[in-house]
Structure 1
Amino acid sequence: MAPAPYVVPQVDSAAVFKPEIFRGKVLFCTGGGSGICRGMTEAVMRHGANAVILGRKLDRLTQTAKELSEATGQICIPAQADVREPKTLQDAVRKTIEKFGRIDFVICGAAGNFLAPISGLSENAFRTVLEIDTLGTYNTIKATIAHVRAAKGSYIHVSATLHYNGTPFQAHVSAAKAGVDALSAVVAVEEGPHGVRSNVIAPGPIGATEGMDRLSLKAGEHRAPAYPAGRMGHVDDVANAAVFLFSDAAAYITGQILPVDGGFEHLRGSTVPYPQAVLDPASVAHMISPKL
């Protein structure tokens, strides 16, 4: 009988980093109302930072901000904004400065995705994903850069690994995230002399998130994926990477892309039957939620 594979443990960042490493710092996070970005925000707050979370749904943001404040003992405030609209980001930055007087860390995490083949993808749908992910990242950088410069701060851009290889039904997000990666690299070289660092976290499949629920094939429709780390990713895995990249331990790390995927990308194949799925998309519609 073959031995069972080793499964890497989930680690609390507090077991590695001191609780006060971000004391007095302020985090500005787009997409912070849920999922991966909420998890990163909570982790940074647990190490002493206050935070502003941005999104389009004020009711969800308000509830999340309350929960994060209660969980961490720090201050988190909501700011309604659409990253496609620069003025709303500028207003959120103004609110942040009025409340806290500074912005040290920025997470550019607002994103949109769905499954669709190019043949069934409208120009408007393609444009919308680029506007949220790529243009939204650019708008966030523009709105915050003066304050991040003043604080000698740092950016983390949330990307993906989909564009490292061709991924069926993901042309829109692959193009968008490739643009995010490129923007981060330019920020690193342009703003490095001003004391600003910029890096990318590229999560692989992360369980119990809205994105994973939306993009995963239905249960029983595909072979379980293989992870060299022994398990699917957890939000805490991404959060720990964010704590490290914002910390002084990463002071010499900038312009880099950090996949957080347990080695999944090295073994990833198509998530849908290939080439059947691209030759006849309707034949796999029942496997996908939402449907094609």
Structure 2
Amino acid sequence: MTLKTAIVTGAARGIGLATTRLFLAQGWRVAMIDRDTSALKDAAKGLDGAHAVACDVSVPDQVDAMVQQVLDHFGRMDALVNNAGIADFRSLADTDFAIWRQVMAVNLDGVFLTSQAVIPHLKQRGGAIVNIASISGLRASTLRVAYGTSKAAVIQLTGQQAAELGEWGIRANCVAPGPVDTKLALAVHSPEIRAAYHDAIPLNRYGTEFEIAEVITFLCSDRASYVTGQTIAVDGGFDAVGVGLPALRAQSGGM
């Protein structure tokens, strides 16, 4: 039996690496993609069934070369996980055009370019595209003008992909993580910020990289064969409560 192959961008760390490991545990082969060559090489060590390819997803020529290299190595591709992204947190006034374009180039252009490059190959037998957005693409917040807008655009792009590619058996879905316990979050979230998130999230905690990976791999699997065009918030209920105040929720605890 020919093993299915997934391409995972931003695979050198965090959600991308967790997704890679889970795919491998489920019997898939994985093309690990990242522009951080050193970190990618370290991440791929000892992962049987993984193949590392250095690529900046915002550069069209690199994307085309990466897809060809994956095809040459594995001979097929069945799923694409567009996870590569960068975060930038600053106010609208402090976001100059260079910063705006840098965020859009990776977070949005990268999803467009990589998806476009794999579509001819996915059309051969059907498959899945899973784009990683963010809760910041579903609800506005301070200091996320470029990041949040890029992720909202990824959600819309996912719908476009689902609408156009379904006739070839290609499904497109989006995962919107809430706060996740990554090294980046630990570095930039103060104790006060972490406490505020805990209060605002119904499950009262951050998610884990593995919990996000579980949803990603499900959406790529045959178990999700009739799921397309959806955005799933994996956020502990953060988006569901909307403007619900933690203090009011606490008062209803006994009801």
TM-score computed with the length of structure 2 as normaliser: 0.89
Aligned to 1:169: 143
How far apart in 2 are the matches of 1:65 and 1:231? 30
How far apart in 2 are the matches of 1:160 and 1:254? 18
Structure 1 ranges of 4+ moved more than 3 A = 220-224, 266-269
Q: Is the 8 A contact 2:136 2:152 kept in 1?
A: no
Aligned to 2:171: 197
Partner of 1:157, secondary structure, is strand
How far apart in 1 are the matches of 2:205 and 2:6? 30
1:266 offset after TM fit, Å?
3.2
Aligned AA (1:119): A
Could you tell me which runs of 5 or more consecutive residues in structure 1 were left unpaired when the two chains were aligned: 1-21, 270-292
How far apart in 1 are the matches of 2:109 and 2:180? 24
Q: Deviations over 1:182-220 (max 9, x none)?
A: 11111111110011000000000001342x23542x224
Aligned to 1:44: 23
How far apart in 1 are the matches of 2:102 and 2:179? 23
Aligned to 1:219: 191
Aligned to 2:54: 80
Q: Does 1:57 align with 2:36?
A: yes
Aligned to 2:156: 182
- Alpha-carbon RMSD across the aligned residues, in angstroms, is 1.7
Aligned to 1:259: 233
Correspondent of 1:99 among 65, 73, 84: 73
Aligned AA (1:234): T
Q: Is the 8 A contact 2:128 2:170 kept in 1?
A: yes
How far apart in 2 are the matches of 1:152 and 1:33? 27
How far apart in 2 are the matches of 1:100 and 1:170? 38
* Residues 33-42 or 260-269, more deviating: 260-269
Question: Structure 1 vs Structure 2: percent identity of aligned residues?
Answer: 25
Aligned to 2:95: 121
1:165 offset after TM fit, Å?
2.5
How far apart in 2 are the matches of 1:93 and 1:150? 15
Q: Deviations over 1:32-70 (max 9, x none)?
A: 111011111111111011111111121211111114x1x
Partner of 2:18, secondary structure, is helix
Inter-CA distance 126–215: structure 2 relative to 1 (3 Å threshold): farther
How far apart in 2 are the matches of 1:237 and 1:170? 24
How far apart in 2 are the matches of 1:223 and 1:96? 43
Inter-CA distance 221–41: structure 2 relative to 1 (3 Å threshold): closer
Q: Is the 8 A contact 2:7 2:81 kept in 1?
A: yes
Could you tell me which runs of 5 or more consecutive residues in structure 2 were left unpaired when the two chains were aligned: 244-255
TM-score computed with the length of structure 1 as normaliser: 0.78
Q: Which has the larger radius of gyration?
A: 1
How far apart in 1 are the matches of 2:209 and 2:227? 22
1:92 offset after TM fit, Å?
1.0
How far apart in 1 are the matches of 2:56 and 2:206? 31
Q: Is the 8 A contact 1:23 1:47 kept in 2?
A: no
Aligned AA (1:224): A
